[in-house]
Structure 1
Amino acid sequence: MATSMNFSRGLNAELVQPYDFEMLRDLRPFLEEYWVTSFLIVLIYLLLIFVGQNYMRPRKSFSLQGPLILWSFCLAIFSILGTVRTWKFMGTLLFTRGLQQTVCFANYIDDTIVKFWSCIFVLSKVVELGDTAFIILRKRPLIFIHWYHHSTVLLFTSFGFKNRVPSGGWFMTMNFGVHSIMYTYYTLKAAKVKHPSMLPMAITSLQILQMVMGTIFGILNYIWRQEKGCYATTEHFFWSFMLYGTYFLLFAHFFHQAYLRPKSKAKSKSQ
């Protein structure tokens, strides 16, 4: 612990200074207990999906344009702030201490900035379940990848936080980055503001890239698990590899269905 804290203090002095709000009370003890509660939250979430869809089936859809704009805008701002802080930290750590230091995670997990944003990141996965409420109340199609991704990310994030899963810093950082773009797009779409037509495809491409990078970081961590400062178990590797693998397949399938298949159909019809 002393080594970690000394590393943390040196890191802050050399790299990124924490803001006052990032030095608030540490929520780690509470959130480590939350790991058990996350299963209950996911169960309630899935139950509410079933109840909500049945409730809305005979009823007219709600517009909810104003609340949706506000919701997406708030999550976009939050994700952008998280992106700026975590990418600055992880990027500087990468170029000053090397890739292994960022992938192993153990040496910098007690840094003030990482502790704050990782706590907020875990809690944000519960908040983001609200995305599904808008889909149900507006009677939009609720696809499997949506609720599966929301459920498993919440569980894996809680698991990773409690068990200090190596490469968790990159998982958080990449997720913040993709969500900053994704929720900005959702805000523009809800407000009916014109946006680049390629933006949805770009977001899905970034999500697929995130899954590829996450798998690579997991493999590197497993390879380096015997190195001093690295902390990896077979359980960590198995679950991260399984989830990133299923996410990659699901997002790749979605990409094909949403952006490639319609074009091929249109082309065959024109011929």
Structure 2
Amino acid sequence: MESSMSYNLDITPNYSYIFEFENEFIHQNSRKWMTENWTVAFYYVGIYMAFIFGGQYYMQNRPRFELRRTLIVWNSALAAFSIMGACRTLPEFIHVLRNHGLYHSICVPSFIEQDKVSGFWTWMFVLSKLPELGDTVFIVLRKKPLIFLHWYHHITVLLYTWFSFTEYTSSARWFVVMNYCVHSVMYSYYALVSMGKYPPKMLAMTITVLQLTQMIVGCAINIWAHNYTATVPPDSCHISQINIKLSMAMYFSYFVLFSQFFYKAYLSPKRGKKAKTEPLPEIAPTKKVEYNGYPRQRNGLVH
């Protein structure tokens, strides 16, 4: 590790340590690779959809896989990755917002171009959307209901983040930090559940509220970005109009779908005998709201 930085300290926070792999990050190389290969994401999406429908068909007359230990490792690894990403990107976000204001945080991609730490973890964030498709593998192999929001969210996030990195979309600073922070809590929750621990129901509800808040903030950032691009000189705000439109449509659709899920999980009228929340696979409640392979009785939680 290194304890000093060789780039603009006015734009970047004064990190106490920088890992060698962070210090060696060259954003131009990553952008070049992504620009040349971002359309490959569509092939991954095709394979993903084929697995969903083919896998469900294959498993329909076969016993489910338990995969408990694998699930513990999987969720714990994603939780650790998200926590690390949040810890490494949040300081730059706070520093820029506090010292350079809202305009810079939305319109200037210094978090990639001038900050090796935040740049590296932004790159990792984009790439992580591919292995995160593995969440669906557990649902299919364990024969759990797969809701539309699950696979729609995975596909659109993968395509959007890969495309945005080719443009160095400056508003992504907000999206990356928010997603890392929410996923830190969410995957930690999943890790506990897969270990047989039972966090309070309020924690699941809080995560869902955080997810809804993320969608509201995402829409607000896109509105601000649109206003900035309309009022500042051309090319002063590093966001394309097509990116703003895609991001706005994506976040708004998420908000609608997450709101529907929240209503079904917490607010819809209950039928029959009230059952306690049991997130483990052995428990089979009469009415379930499921996500990421865990049955939940009135315990809404969406990735």
- State TM-score, norm by structure 1: 0.90
Task: State which of 163, 172, 175 in structure 1 corresponds to 2:179.
Answer: 175
Name the aligned partner's letter for residue 74 of structure 2: W
Q: Deviating runs (4+, > 6 A) in structure 1?
A: none
- Separation in structure 1 between the aligned mates of residue 81 and residue 269 of structure 2, nearest angstrom: 34
Answer whether contact 2:23 2:116 (CA < 8 A) is retained.
yes
- Separation in structure 2 between the aligned mates of residue 91 and residue 151 of structure 1, nearest angstrom: 29
- Separation in structure 1 between the aligned mates of residue 155 and residue 194 of structure 2, nearest angstrom: 24
Tell me which residue corresponds to 1:11.
11
CA deviations over 1:2-60 (Å, ceiling 9, x no partner): xxxx9845423x53363322123433321222311011111111111111101110001
Q: Which protein has greater RCO, CA pairs closer than 8 Å, 6+ apart?
A: 1
Tell me which residue corresponds to 1:128.
132
Question: Is the helix fraction higher in 1 or 2?
Answer: 1
Answer whether contact 1:72 1:184 (CA < 8 A) is retained.
yes
Tell me which residue corresponds to 2:151.
147
Name the aligned partner's letter for residue 247 of structure 1: Y
Does 2:247 match 1:240?
yes
Name the aligned partner's letter for residue 176 of structure 2: M
Alignment of structure 1 residues 1-271 onto 2, 5 Å: 8=8, 10-12=10-12, 14-16=13-15, 18-26=18-26, 27-110=30-113, 111-225=115-229, 226-227=231-232, 229-263=236-270, 265=271
Aligned-residue CA RMSD in angstroms? 1.9
CA deviations over 1:153-202 (Å, ceiling 9, x no partner): 00010111111223101111100011001100110111111212111111
Name the aligned partner's letter for residue 100 of structure 1: Y
CA deviations over 1:124-170 (Å, ceiling 9, x no partner): 00010000000011111100000000000000101111112231011
Tell me which residue corresponds to 2:296.
none
Secondary structure of 1:129's aligned partner: helix
Answer whether contact 2:34 2:166 (CA < 8 A) is retained.
yes
Secondary structure of 1:128's aligned partner: helix
Name the aligned partner's letter for residue 197 of structure 1: K
Name the aligned partner's letter for residue 74 of structure 1: A
- Separation in structure 2 between the aligned mates of residue 266 and residue 57 of structure 1, nearest angstrom: 28
Secondary structure of 2:11's aligned partner: helix
- Separation in structure 1 between the aligned mates of residue 266 and residue 177 of structure 2, nearest angstrom: 27
- State TM-score, norm by structure 2: 0.81
- The number of residue pairs the alignment matches comes to 260
Secondary structure of 2:129's aligned partner: helix
Q: Which runs of 5 or more structure 2 residues have no equivalent in the other structure?
A: 1-5, 274-303
Q: Percent identity?
A: 42
